[in-house]
């Protein structure tokens, strides 16, 4: 069906991250824009319906300024790029976070569905608005959720056109979605979403469920912890109930490991790391950082200056544990006392590295719990290149995903899956309560037969003991 505004783009190009507020919210700021394509079949009009797949939990909506190309642009210089803008219109960049795992960054399934690019209700003449300070807002059920202006763009409309036109021809009618500001919400079936750019009226979209579940063949909805955090935000602090947090600060990692084994998880203990100080206790959510082996020709681009190590540490949030995957290579330091102090001052809950720490003498003066495999005076550039953050890593032989719950004591550090953490904490506390009872009985001279583990008459004695506590 033709779009009522006459829009018929040969391509729709979207920018991943392009507002300062959004970059601060996501904890990363790109040096250059990156893009993805949305199919023209995703284009929708004002007053349409966007469907969330049944079984999905996180359908996101994003207020955006859409630039409509007015004349062909190929290899255009920055100075004249804005002359190729034919119109400005409000857009809603809709996406299903539950399908991102299948896209590997392309966003084909997560953001390319029919109706996932509403545009309207009118196209503004670019000569009649201030392109450098154009308001963009989003409402959900009448409540204002997003509000910013194009003054907050990292890369202006002219920059995007000049950049893209170096590689591909922008044709009349093509649409560039120029990014969304902070606060993009997750919506539910029945919600009404409205987007406004300038004062050109509101673009209205209703959210609905699909009639039947998404079925095979192909990937099905699945929300990873990383995608959950992108959809709903990283939790401030631990994001745990008070009771679960209390229990996890008391139970031993050995007990937690036993509870994980009961659930078939046998490789969640981070091997070889030890606390850098006495009496260390750690509890927090994983923020991951991955190092790759040194390759001299790539170090300047990835390891020098404000590299991924420094930018990750600068964006640590309260309650997060910096988890460094150094491949178990302890022949150079992976973090020193100054950057560790930065993690501490940001409210970080700890540091875990399967490599070495530098300035180990100074770590004794820091309050932040730190676990490392070794100590080494050499800088990381001798062996490591900081490569990427917020990805699944291998630390000390354990797989750690962003958002996993980490608990550490004198024995080491164990990784808890977030979906199991409440029940594991409760069962671990019960296990330790039983072990205290058993310890008392053994200390009083009783045989361990039938007592350890509890069985027979000892179970009744234990219940009575619990009632007396």
Q: Are residues 320 and 182 in the same domain?
A: no
The tokens describing 41, both together, are 């079949």
- Provide the residue count of the chain: 469
Instruction: Give domain status of residue 426, yes or no.
Output: no
Instruction: Give domain status of residue 465, yes or no.
Output: no
Can you give the residue range of the structural domain that contains 336?
Answer: 242-421
pLDDT band at 265 (very low <50, low <70, confident <90, very high): very high
The span from the CA of 447 to the CA of 148, in Å, is 71
pLDDT for res 249: 94
Mean pLDDT, the chain, whole residue set: 92
What phi and psi, each to the nearest 5 degrees, are found at residue 276? Answer: -85, 0
Which parts of 238-340 are beta strand (E)?
269-270, 274-275, 282-293, 320-325, 333-335
pLDDT band at 431 (very low <50, low <70, confident <90, very high): very high
**pLDDT digits over 80-90, tens only?**
999 999 999 99
Task: Give DSSP secondary structure letters for 400-442.
Answer: E-TT-EEEEETTEEEEE-GGGHHHHHHHHHHHHHHHHHHHHHH
pLDDT at residue 409 tops 90: yes
The span from the CA of 422 to the CA of 430, in Å, is 13
pLDDT at residue 236 tops 80: no
Beta bridge partners of 170: 73
What phi and psi, each to the nearest 5 degrees, are found at residue 265? Answer: -105, 110
The span from the CA of 157 to the CA of 181, in Å, is 15
CATH of the domain at 195: 3.90.850.10
Peptide bond into 217 cis (omega under 30): yes
Peptide bond into 121 cis (omega under 30): yes
Task: Give DSSP secondary structure letters for 63-118.
Answer: EEEEEEE-S-BSS--GGGGGGGEEEEEEEE--EEGGGGGGTTT--HHHH-STT-EE
Instruction: Give domain status of residue 62, yes or no.
Output: yes
Instruction: Give domain status of residue 437, yes or no.
Output: no
Sheet holding 59-60, edge to edge: 95-96, 59-60, 186-187
Instruction: Say what percent of the chain tops pLDDT 70.
Output: 99
**pLDDT digits over 111-169, tens only?**
999 999 999 999 999 999 999 999 999 999 999 999 999 999 999 999 999 999 999 99
Q: What is the number of domains present in the chain?
A: 2
Last residue of a domain, one of 378, 394, 421: 421
Distance of CA 310 to the CA centre of its chain: 18
CATH of the domain at 279: 3.50.30.40
The span from the CA of 309 to the CA of 393, in Å, is 14
The span from the CA of 145 to the CA of 195, in Å, is 10
pLDDT for res 260: 97
Which of the pair, 450 or 207, is modelled with greater confidence? 207
The tokens describing 39, both together, are 């199919």
The span from the CA of 14 to the CA of 10, in Å, is 14
Query: Between vectors from CA 291 to CA 287 and to CA 292, what angle results, nearest 5°?
Result: 150
pLDDT for res 469: 79
Q: Are residues 261 and 351 in the same domain?
A: yes
pLDDT for res 11: 97
pLDDT band at 304 (very low <50, low <70, confident <90, very high): confident
Q: What is the mean pLDDT of residues 354-378?
A: 87
pLDDT for res 234: 66
- Contact 442/315 with Cβ under 8 angstroms? no
Last residue of a domain, one of 171, 200, 232: 232
Task: Give DSSP secondary structure letters for 112-140.
Answer: -STT-EEEEEEEEPGGGS-TTS-EEEEEE
164 SS3 class:
helix
The span from the CA of 244 to the CA of 419, in Å, is 12
Q: Are residues 129 and 251 in the same domain?
A: no
- Contact 222/55 with Cβ under 8 angstroms? no
């Amino acid at each position: 069906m033709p779009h009522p505004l006459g829009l018929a783009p040969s391509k729709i190009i979207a920018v991943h991250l392009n507002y300062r507020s959004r970059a601060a919210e996501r904890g990363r700021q790109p040096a250059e824009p990156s893009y993805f394509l949305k199919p023209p079949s995703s284009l929708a009009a004002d007053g349409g319906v966007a469907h969330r797949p049944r079984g999905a939990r996180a359908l996101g909506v994003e207020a955006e300024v859409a630039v409509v190309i007015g004349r062909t642009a190929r290899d255009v210089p920055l100075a004249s790029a804005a002359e190729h803008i034919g119109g400005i219109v409000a857009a809603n960049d809709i996406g299903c976070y539950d399908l991102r795992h299948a896209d590997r960054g392309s966003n084909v399934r997560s953001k390319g569905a029919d109706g996932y690019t509403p545009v309207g209700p009118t196209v503004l003449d670019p000569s009649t608005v201030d392109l450098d300070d154009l308001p963009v807002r989003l409402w959900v059920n009448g409540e204002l959720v997003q509000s910013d202006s194009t003054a907050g763009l990292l890369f202006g409309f002219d920059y995007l056109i000049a950049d893209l036109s170096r590689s591909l021809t922008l044709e009349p009618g093509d649409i560039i979605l120029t990014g969304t500001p902070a606060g993009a919400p997750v919506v539910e079936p029945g919600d009404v979403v409205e987007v406004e750019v300038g004062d050109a009226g509101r673009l209205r979209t209703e959210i609905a469920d699909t009639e039947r579940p998404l079925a095979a063949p192909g990937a099905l909805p699945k929300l990873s912890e990383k995608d959950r955090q992108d959809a709903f935000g990283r939790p401030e602090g631990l994001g745990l109930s008070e009771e679960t947090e209390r229990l996890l600060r008391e139970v031993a990692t050995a007990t937690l490991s036993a509870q994980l084994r009961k659930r078939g998880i046998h490789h969640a203990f981070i091997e070889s790391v030890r606390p850098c100080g006495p009496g260390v206790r750690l509890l927090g959510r994983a923020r991951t950082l991955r190092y790759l082996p040194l390759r001299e020709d790539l170090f300047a681009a990835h390891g020098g200056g404000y590299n991924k190590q420094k930018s990750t540490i600068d964006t640590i949030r309260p309650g997060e544990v910096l988890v460094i995957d150094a491949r178990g290579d302890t022949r150079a330091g992976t973090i020193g006392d100054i950057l560790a102090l930065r993690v501490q001052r940001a409210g970080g809950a700890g540091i875990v590295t399967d490599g070495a720490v530098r300035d180990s003498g100074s770590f004794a003066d820091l309050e932040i719990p730190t676990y490392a495999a070794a100590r080494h005076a050499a800088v990381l550039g001798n062996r490591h290149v900081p490569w990427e953050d917020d990805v699944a890593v291998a630390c000390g032989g354990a797989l750690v995903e962003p958002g996993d719950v980490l608990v550490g004591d004198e024995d080491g550090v164990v990784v808890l899956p977030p979906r199991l953490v409440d029940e594991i904490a409760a069962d671990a506390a019960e296990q330790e309560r039983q072990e205290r009872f058993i310890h008392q009985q053994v200390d009083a001279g009783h045989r361990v037969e039938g007592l350890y583990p509890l069985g027979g008459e000892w179970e009744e004695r234990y219940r009575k003991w619990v009632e007396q506590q």
